[in-house]
Structure 1
Amino acid sequence: MTRIDAKFEDLRARGKKAFVSYVMAGDPDYDRSLEIVRGLPAAGVDIIELGLPFTDPMADGPTIQLAGQRALEAGMTLARTLEMVRAFRAEDDTTPIVLMGYYNPIYSMGVEKFLAEAKDAGIDGLIVVDLPPEEDIELCLPAQDAGLNFIRLATPTTDDKRLPRVVQNTSGFVYYVSITGITGSAEANATDVSPEVARIQKASGLPVIVGFGVNTPEKARAIAEVADGVVIGSAIVNRIANGDSAEDVLAFVKSLADGAHSA
């Protein structure tokens, strides 16, 4: 059982929904990023989704793209991202961390080396947005063998024919992208999301977390009411981009977590 599995088991036992927060590793720089990440659990975050900076983030909107650029300009790399996770784990050995990004940096490091380093650092799961199920042999299956959850994205265009293939080797949870398009481009609607969540839950037997288009405590609650939890990224990253202090960013995160947990 991974930390992710244990977290969902605990939330179910308490009748709670999960709040997942996304932040870009190294944004705006290593020290401030680590300060924010360390504060997320106390702000109510159940699972931390840690973005891996990449030069060509094709699935991300301007907010996340700019966060990645800031991190890269500040010297963030895959190795330093894992270093950050190790620093976090020195103080927190229970909060799950999912590394979200693209395959190129992992491929460049070498899959075997990356998986060993990620496991040692304390990564619990991976979301690699540009590796489809047809490429499971590349990273998904080796990651599962190494004891990491491999989390897949499902979207409004993932039809009943495609869905079984998408969830076949997925573990931990399924990330449902509530809108078509890039991050931060539209707003999620609970009425539209609800039947899709039920369909994915039935096909996968896994918790379904909904992301994209959620940016307020009220929306977090509305989405969490029809799903197993909600993930918010762009709204948090915007606060970092605006130069908010770590204290202010974490206060905002707590308001979002309180919204999701009130569902």
Structure 2
Amino acid sequence: MTLKILHNPFNAETYRAAQERGEALLIGYLVAGDPTAEESLEMIQASVQAGIDIIELGVPSPDPYVDGEVIKRAHKRALDAGAAASEGLLPLWRRIRRGVSSPIWAMGYKRELVEEALYRSLAEEKLIDALVLPDCSLEEQIRLQNELGPAGIDVVRFINSSMDEEAIRRTCDGATIIYAQSYSGTTGDPLARVQGLGKLCDRIRPHLPGGLIVAGFGLRTPDRVGSAVDSGFDGAVVGSVLVRCCENREKDYLYRLVAEMKLETARSDKELNR
């Protein structure tokens, strides 16, 4: 499959390169500035070298209410370390951009990214390749896509299995990247069951020809990453398990886990022919 509609050429180029290697994308979420600015930069760079194709970089928030406890603690650590808003965040973000050879997606909350206009600073300085805004409505995501698309920035939209066909169609209409949530609820739920990924992917795919469809939530092991890839998704998003490694400063384990997850993105012959 060839991507035709992505606004950001770096996103498209990264996926095209993965396709040529017979792989799906591994998208890794880490919080900017967690646990400190220097360690955050070190772990992001090393995680990319270990196998992450795209960094989903969390914007620290005092109220990350759709996230689970692991990521909430990471937001607090980053804020306590000085990664708040423009004063502490932008200088670090610029260093990350200079030191990372992969696309960067800014994941954050409406208050910090939109209402405080941080997204405009990130866009104007070409520090991001996509925006991920889980608490924005579809209408708000469309407005931002109309604003940022001409500047080469994709705005990710969300779908979950509880949505009916009409809601899926509306969400996909004009979208470039779809984030399929494997379950409803907060991130990192240890009791969440990940199932029906193939069916969910098959429901989305006809509505998004040429777009990028990635799966996330609950993909905390290499096997689950492999399951998402085998289900037909173009990429797997991994977050809480990586953030927990940052919390415990288990750097070697973090890089080994990333490498093992990346191995699971290799597509089978069946998937290559989808």
Q: Determine if the TM-score, normalized by the shorter chain, exceeds 0.5.
A: yes
- SS at 1:58's partner residue? coil
Alignment of 1:242 onto 2:248? yes
Instruction: State how far apart, in whole Å, the 1-side matches of 2:78 and 2:52 are.
Output: 22
The Cα of 1:116 is off from its aligned counterpart by 4.5
Instruction: State how far apart, in whole Å, the 2-side matches of 1:183 and 1:137 are.
Output: 24
Query: Which of 3, 15, 26 is 1:8 aligned to?
Result: 15
Q: 1:78 to 1:188 in 2, by over 3 A?
A: farther
Q: Which residue of 2 aligns with 1:27?
A: 34
Gaps of 5+ in 1: none
Query: Which of 72, 86, 89 is 1:65 aligned to?
Result: 72
Moved more, 213-222 or 78-87: 78-87
- SS at 1:50's partner residue? strand
Moved more, 14-23 or 100-109: 100-109
Q: How much identity, in percent, do the aligned residues show? A: 28
The Cα of 1:232 is off from its aligned counterpart by 0.7
Q: Which residue of 2 aligns with 1:176?
A: 180
Cα deviation code 1:35-63 (max 9, x no counterpart): 01111221111111111111121211111
Matched residue type, 1:109: E
Gaps of 5+ in 2: 1-7, 269-274
Matched residue type, 1:228: D
RMSD: 2.0
Alignment of 1:87 onto 2:92? no
Instruction: State how far apart, in whole Å, the 1-side matches of 2:242 and 2:122 are.
Output: 28
Scaled by the length of structure 1, the TM-score of the pair is 0.90
Query: Which of 215, 223, 237 is 2:220 aligned to?
Result: 215
Cα deviation code 1:132-191 (max 9, x no counterpart): 1122465232121322011111112222111122122322x211100111111144535x
Instruction: State how far apart, in whole Å, the 2-side matches of 1:137 and 1:21 are.
Output: 24
Instruction: State how far apart, in whole Å, the 2-side matches of 1:251 and 1:65 are.
Output: 24
The Cα of 1:108 is off from its aligned counterpart by 4.2
Instruction: State how far apart, in whole Å, the 1-side matches of 2:105 and 2:124 are.
Output: 11
- SS at 2:114's partner residue? helix
Q: Which residue of 2 aligns with 1:203?
A: 207
Q: Which residue of 2 aligns with 1:165?
A: 170
Scaled by the length of structure 2, the TM-score of the pair is 0.86
Q: 1:84 to 1:262 in 2, by over 3 A?
A: farther
